[in-house]
Structure 1
Amino acid sequence: MRNAVTLTETDLIIEPVGLDKLWSFTGQLQVPWSHVRGATHDPGMEAEPKGWRGPGLRFGGKLSGTFHADGERQFWNVSGYADAVVIELTDEH
């Protein structure tokens, strides 16, 4: 398991687990449900540009941390892409 996901009445909480917490420089992401547009299983996102890393880790198929692409900030915590889930947010930095 790379991330622990907690669903509360008001928030989606994603917490990197183990060394992923260290590599991603992130304790947890907490997002109000009103800011979650949707989530999809998307192994094809491997081909999408990841941008530049900062802070975080990029090593082979392992991405963990904050990446900046196309003027947007993205959080990644994946090891390979077969089981990748993309969560789209609105009104979040």
Structure 2
Amino acid sequence: MENIINVQDNTLVVTPAGLTKIAALKEKISIPLSHIVGASIDTGILNDSKGFRSPGTAIPGYWAGTFRKDGDITFFNIKQSSLPVVIQLKDEHYNRLVIGVSEPREVVQTINNLVTK
């Protein structure tokens, strides 16, 4: 598992787990629910070009940190073997988060239920 997801006080908190915290160069990311457009699973996103890494880690089969491409800023913390959860954001530093979690379908459903209320 690369990340732990919690909701606290109308804020989604993404915490990289274990050593991925070091590779991602982030202790946690906190996003107000009002800044989340939605979440989905995108199995093809890991095959796309990630862009310029700044700062972060990219080794075969694992991406962590901030990546910039075509004016977008994406936070990745995911292994190639994980089912990618993509969280689209507005009015934030990042345009989206691409993360691995232990229960991806449940996380997507929970996030989408929270942001449509």
TM over 0.5: yes
**Alignment partners' CA distance in 1, 2:47 and 2:62:** 14
Cα deviation, residue 49, structure 1: 2.3
Find the counterpart in structure 2 of residue 26 from structure 1: 26
Greater fraction of residues in strand: 1
Instruction: Report the counterpart of residue 3 of structure 1 in structure 2.
Output: 3
TM-score normalised per structure 1: 0.93
Taking the TM superposition and a 5 Å limit, the aligned residue runs for 1:1-93 are 1-80=1-80, 82-93=82-93
**C-alpha distance in 2 between matches for 1:50 and 1:65:** 11
* Whole-Å separation in 1 of the counterparts to 2:30 and 2:17: 15
Deviations 1:28-77 (A, max 9, x none): 00000000000001111123221011111000120011111111111000
Q: Which has the higher helix share?
A: 2
Structure 2 residues without counterparts, runs of 5 or longer? 94-117
SS in structure 2 of the partner of residue 46 of structure 1? helix
More deviation, 22-31/1-10: 1-10
TM-score (norm 2): 0.75
Q: How many residues align?
A: 93
Q: CA RMSD in A?
A: 1.1
Aligned to 1:43, the other structure's residue is in SS state coil
In the alignment, the residues of structure 1 paired with residue 60 and residue 2 of structure 2 have an alpha-carbon distance, to the nearest angstrom, of: 16
